[in-house]
Amino acid sequence: MTTRRIYDFRWARQAALLAALLLAASLVSGCLYPQERKAQNQVSTKEAVRNVQGAIEQYFADKSVLPIKNAESSTPVYEKFFIDFAKLQREGYISSIPTAAFENGGNYYFLIIDEENTRQVKLMDIVTYQKINDIQSWVRTYVQTNGKLPMGEEMYEGFYLIDYKALSKKEPELVSQFSRQTLQAVIDNNGTVYTDYGIDIMQLLQKDGTEGLEQGLDLRELLVAASDFVPVKAPVYHLIDGEPRAVN
């Protein structure tokens, strides 16, 4: 075998080995990347909440008002006080809008709850918000055409699963920001669509117990207190016979 042929053979073998190593590396990184990205996103989101919380506290200390957008008094509590990032940035309280924020292409609305006391910064998941709005639109169209609601199995008194077959639609996947579990949408007798967080609330109750809970407490508050998120388009829940149940 000539020197050139030996060289070509060795080069080909090394190239094949390198290609195999690159392929293996890409497969491994492909498997790991989604988990790594998920963990990184969680960290960056928490950091964004902390940074915005600091800006809100400083703004309120300086001005005795909150940088929030106008809302109607009838707006649901977990959709009410959206943060005005343009104002915060314009007045120098933040250098840039968080990448997690809708205003900067992210998947969350940043809002303030308990505005008169703790002024906590929380996140609303835009994906779930939009999916519930889509379902609401389907239901409205169905009622206009058929004169009745697309009701399925009753989940709570006055709340029902949605008959997607009647709507000729595929059921959207609703993923909980609290547990990453798949949730369901429910509809009440008025045709209003909600996200059912009963399973998430039940898990919290099983973990922490029900002792000391005030009578008539809105159990959605437990979800909010335990995370950076608010429930999206959720009904009020009360503890009834030891279980969280949606109520009108």
| pLDDT number for residue 20 | 43
Q: Residue 40: its pLDDT value, please?
A: 45
Could you report the average pLDDT of every consecutive run of 10 residues in the chain (248 residues)?
A: 44 45 39 43 81 98 97 94 97 96 97 96 98 98 98 97 98 97 98 98 93 90 97 97 94
Domain locations in the chain as residue ranges: 44-125, 127-247
| The two three-digit tokens of residue 225, written as one number | 């207190």
Q: Which amino acid is at 205?
A: L
In the chain, beta strands by DSSP E: 108-113, 120-125, 151-156, 159-162, 174-175, 182-188, 193-196, 236-240, 243-247
> Quick one: tokens of 141?
């169209």
Number of neighbouring beta carbons within 10 Å of residue 239: 18
Q: What is the pLDDT of residue 41?
A: 54
DSSP of 28-86, one letter per residue? HHHHHHHHHHHHHHHHHHHHHHHHHHHHHHHHHHHHSS--B----TTS-GGGS-BB-HH
Q: Residue 232: how many CB atoms within 10 A of its CB?
A: 24
How far, in Å, CA of 244 to CA of 186, rounded?
15
pLDDT of residue 201: 97
Give phi and psi for 109, each to the nearest 5: -90, 135
Structure tokens at 198: 């009963």
Q: Are 123 and 110 in contact (CB under 8 A)?
A: yes
Q: What are the residues whose beta carbons fall under 8 Å from the beta carbon of 98, sequence distance 6 or more?
A: 48, 51, 52, 104, 106, 110
Dihedral pair phi/psi, residue 41, rounded to 5°: -65, -40
Write down the pLDDT at residue 21.
Answer: 40
pTM over 0.85: no
DSSP label at 24? H
Structure tokens at 17: 């080995």
